[in-house]
Structure 1
Amino acid sequence: MNPPGVPYDDVALGLRASTGHRIAGALMIVNAALVLCETYMMPASTRGDLLTGSFPIAALIDVALGVSLLSGSTGAVTLSIVRVGLGLVLFTLLRALTGEWLAAGMQVGVSLAFLLLLVGHAKRVRIGLAALLFGLYLALESFGLYILVTGQNPLAHAVMSARGELTGEPAGDVVGGLVDYRLRAPSDRWYLRTDEAARRDNPLADRWLVRPDLDAHILIIAERVPDTMVPLAPFVDTVVGNMRSAASNFELIDSAPLPGHLDTGKLLHMRASVDGQDVEYLAGLVTAYGSAFQLIGFTGARNFAAVEPELRAAIESFVLPASAALPQGAGRVVGSAAPYAVTAPDARWITASPEMLAQQNPDSDRWLVRPDVDAHVTVMLEPLGEETAVDALMQQLPERLRSTWPTATLQPAEPLAGDHAQGQVLHASVAGAAGAFEIDYAIYVVGLRAFHLLATAPAPAYPGVQGQLRQVLRSFEPPGD
């Protein structure tokens, strides 16, 4: 019994919850509401995993415990202490293991705030300290919700700068590292990431621009392909295939010629899920003589509409390096093993270098290339032991071709009339490991030598270049003409 005149202390006797306990109950309900809001504002692609995880379940438990504490129940105090202690250990460890150090610190702070209120009989100092810790946690959580709702992070630039990820001033005019291409940043809100930071995230990165507040990026990948030009269509197919294999729910929304590079560039609009995030892309792919470029703009799907004009402006400002200029057009080319000649149709046709000829086609005497469409004309000489008519050589050609391409489809040979010589030409359609391509095979016979002219182009490009291939074949000038 209490001594006469001394009131009962119901809190000390455990008969009712203290003010600290009731405050803890209210804050547990507030925290649960924050967790549930954050969960349901996550991208749809990640929401399913979270709903089956422990965070929303813990939030529902917090609501139940919070209501009990607010009602003055003392039975919920011990359960609340156990729940907060487990959350302090488990959730902090989970976030630390995934590298989310800020989230881990926030978990420690909010857990300590609850323990200050729940353990024993909290007085003013402990209640004040708990309020301070929870207030800081609430401010950070509210800021996180603001980022989720708006897609904007006004502190991202400061955070990235503090980590040493940005080069300093706005990007402005960007010059390539591997080769001297140029690109104009669309506004002063765009910054260059340091080479170290860019290559840590993508070892192929040559330059990486970022707009921190919208988490928008332009990744530039430059590749050298000496003495040749990557055909545009296979290049696009390869890039799209790589992105499709690296992401889930991939969708190619649109593909159009890239302004400023209509014949050698494509502008792709794509959408995909990457690491549980919905990402939208605007990518420019450009091929040039000796190099190929990927200009990949991307941001979260929520921000894409706001940043698309800037991504488009930056990609369309791309200027090829001086080294990408085609060598001088082939013009009239005289043979090496004999003084015959062939003439290229225009300046887009170049002569393969001796090194390239020796490495890739050592049996050819001369090699003309139109790199932008992967079209080729090679000339080979065959000595004849006796005088042989061109008809006889043409009769042997189907067997020769099918020995290399067993499934080749051949058309009958036909006369080939040029300004300087008469020959025959055969057309073949071939499908192999390197893809489908078309062949125009011409033969001229001059004395005891046969001149074989092999003109090829990929099947998709052949209709557009067929006239030029035939023009080269008809331009053949025999020796001594």
Structure 2
Amino acid sequence: MNPPGTEFDEVALGLKASTGHRVAGALMIVNAALVLLETFMMPASGKPDLLLTPSFPVTALIDIALGVSLLSGSAGAVRLSVIRVALGLVLFTLIRVLAGEWLAAGMQLGVSVAFLLLLLGHPRKLRIGVAAVLFGLYLALEGLGLYIVLSGQNPLARAVLSARGELAGEPAGDVVGELVDYRLRAPSDRWYLRTGEAARRDNPLADRWLIRPDLDAHILVIAERVPDTMVPLAPFVDTVVGNMRGAATSFELLDAAPLPGYPDTGKLLRMRATVDGQNIDYLAGLVTAYGSAYQLIGFTGALNFAAVEPELRAAIESFVLPASAALPQGAGRVVGNAAPYAITAPNERWITASPEMLAQQNPDSDRWILRPDVDAHLTVVLEPLGEETTPAALMQQMPERMRSSWPTANFQPDEPLAGAHASGQLLHASVAGAQGAFEIDYALYVVGLRAFHVIAMAPAPAYPGVRDELRRAQLSFEPPND
């Protein structure tokens, strides 16, 4: 047994670690255990703002070794620990500052100061108490960070985002679009609008972005203008799904159903993906309309999806198109421009192409009607003839003409076409090109020295549903009486 006062003399002489040094050793072990816990339990993509200890397993192992040495009373470990903490203070704080993580930098500064208070000199009760308070605050914040990551819930997220100026002050309530005046309703008062600057920083296409901060749940609205036309739903869905698939490490389309309220022009998609190491579940509404198209993408982490899915669904199903998205008046009976023939649209879904559309997309057409929701079209082209002929004779030239544009076109034998006002000839072709596969019904009427080509076409997937409408429009052809 050492004589009384010997242990104090050894501490004073720097031969043995003091009580404060031993406390520092215990706290270094606790901190290292926290680092290892984060490293092996956190998602691979990284940590949220409140989980800020550098996850370096080698550093943690060094801290454990130093902590054990301090607890055993090693004076040499004190000097090594001071060097380790000082380097961590400078290096890790600088890393956080350069990354703009000011809270993380403050936490690193606080925990480093706590260790230095315990390691430098021979700390007494007051310094040990201050260091304990600093480390306790740091530990509480780190514990909160772990809770957020492992539970998916963040009670401080709204306050943090508000302090950054990223949220509107009041709950979102009724939301009106910026690019166009669509509407939707936030499902509860826990949902807030992100500011336009914050939303477009994360996604330049964002028109509106709703967030429920406590569950890290989001509804991103992308609105696109497509003047004088309507994006067909099926290709629109394929494009959106393809883009999401390309941005994910793994992707799964779980379900695709008609969107309530817009069963003909909308889809509700249920998807799951891994993005930047995070497992994310999606519920997305896609809507097409005349002159515009919309993506309402609801998403959150896999842990929270079950809890927030009803709210995502309610918000998406509350979507209301703007008045400007209504189709123009139905085409009805359309009289030709270059000659007084006429065709009649089969129903109100068929509209007349504007002169601008004709000039830009189909300048050879004399008249053009379309059904935008399924990308179906009917155009009339006039051809002057050098001599009299019959529709059947002229139709024999059509396969060769069409193969100049579609070399792989397949044809069915042409057949007579008898309408109420005129008789002609009909040829069916299946074609494929850069825009996809299409089915074409090619009707040909001959009146004197003029041929009237009445060409009906639709994408292959949509053709069966619109075939009868296309045929009725072709049969409605009324020849000119001049």
Q: What range describes the TM-score normalised by the shorter chain of this pair?
A: over 0.9
More divergent stretch after superposition (252-261 vs 216-225): 252-261
1:377 matches 2:367? no
Aligned equivalents of 1:21, 1:70: Cα separation in 2: 8
- How much identity, in percent, do the aligned residues show? 81
Displacement of 1:284: 0.7
Displacement of 1:124: 2.2
Amino acid at match of 2:11: V
Corresponding residue of 2:10: 10
SS of the residue corresponding to residue 135 of structure 1 reads: helix
Corresponding residue of 1:282: 283
Displacement of 1:466: 0.9
The structure-2 alpha-carbon separation of the partners of 1:428 and 1:67, relative to structure 1 and needing over 3 Å to count, comes to: same
Contact 1:26 1:66 in 2 (8 A): yes
Displacement of 1:111: 1.1
More divergent stretch after superposition (382-391 vs 367-376): 382-391
Corresponding residue of 1:59: 60
Aligned equivalents of 2:349, 2:293: Cα separation in 1: 18
Displacement of 1:370: 0.3
Q: Which runs of 5+ in 2 are unaligned?
A: 48-53
Amino acid at match of 1:73: S
Contact 1:284 1:294 in 2 (8 A): yes
Aligned equivalents of 2:4, 2:356: Cα separation in 1: 109
Displacement of 1:99: 2.8
Deviations 1:83-133 (A, max 9, x none): 212222222233333332211221111111111111221122321221121
Corresponding residue of 2:160: 159
Corresponding residue of 1:341: 342
Aligned equivalents of 1:330, 1:5: Cα separation in 2: 108
SS of the residue corresponding to residue 56 of structure 2 reads: helix
Contact 2:172 2:192 in 1 (8 A): yes
Displacement of 1:301: 1.6
Amino acid at match of 2:12: A
Corresponding residue of 2:448: 447
1:39 matches 2:39? yes
1:272 matches 2:256? no
Contact 2:426 2:442 in 1 (8 A): yes
Corresponding residue of 2:390: 389
Deviations 1:172-208 (A, max 9, x none): 1111111111101000100111112211221211111
SS of the residue corresponding to residue 425 of structure 1 reads: strand
Contact 1:46 1:277 in 2 (8 A): no
Q: What aligned pairs does 1:323-334 form with structure 2 within 5 A after superposition? A: 323-334=324-335
Displacement of 1:5: 9.8
Contact 2:35 2:55 in 1 (8 A): no
Displacement of 1:444: 0.4
Aligned equivalents of 2:431, 2:96: Cα separation in 1: 57
TM-score (norm. length: structure 1): 0.95
More divergent stretch after superposition (343-352 vs 57-66): 57-66
The structure-2 alpha-carbon separation of the partners of 1:46 and 1:198, relative to structure 1 and needing over 3 Å to count, comes to: closer
Amino acid at match of 2:29: I
Deviations 1:210-232 (A, max 9, x none): 11111111110101101100011
Contact 2:250 2:273 in 1 (8 A): yes
Amino acid at match of 1:256: A
Aligned equivalents of 1:343, 1:90: Cα separation in 2: 77
User: Where in structure 1 do 4 or more consecutive aligned residues deviate above 3 Å?
Assistant: 4-8, 44-47
Corresponding residue of 2:311: 310
Q: CA RMSD in A?
A: 1.9
Q: What aligned pairs does 1:77-476 form with structure 2 within 5 A after superposition? A: 77-476=78-477
Contact 2:196 2:208 in 1 (8 A): yes
SS of the residue corresponding to residue 287 of structure 2 reads: strand
SS of the residue corresponding to residue 122 of structure 2 reads: coil
Displacement of 1:54: 5.9
Corresponding residue of 1:50: none
SS of the residue corresponding to residue 60 of structure 2 reads: helix
Aligned equivalents of 2:193, 2:318: Cα separation in 1: 16
Contact 2:45 2:276 in 1 (8 A): no
Contact 2:267 2:285 in 1 (8 A): yes
TM-score (norm. length: structure 2): 0.95
Corresponding residue of 2:50: none
Contact 1:33 1:59 in 2 (8 A): yes
Aligned equivalents of 2:209, 2:46: Cα separation in 1: 27
Displacement of 1:6: 7.5
Amino acid at match of 1:26: A
Displacement of 1:441: 0.4
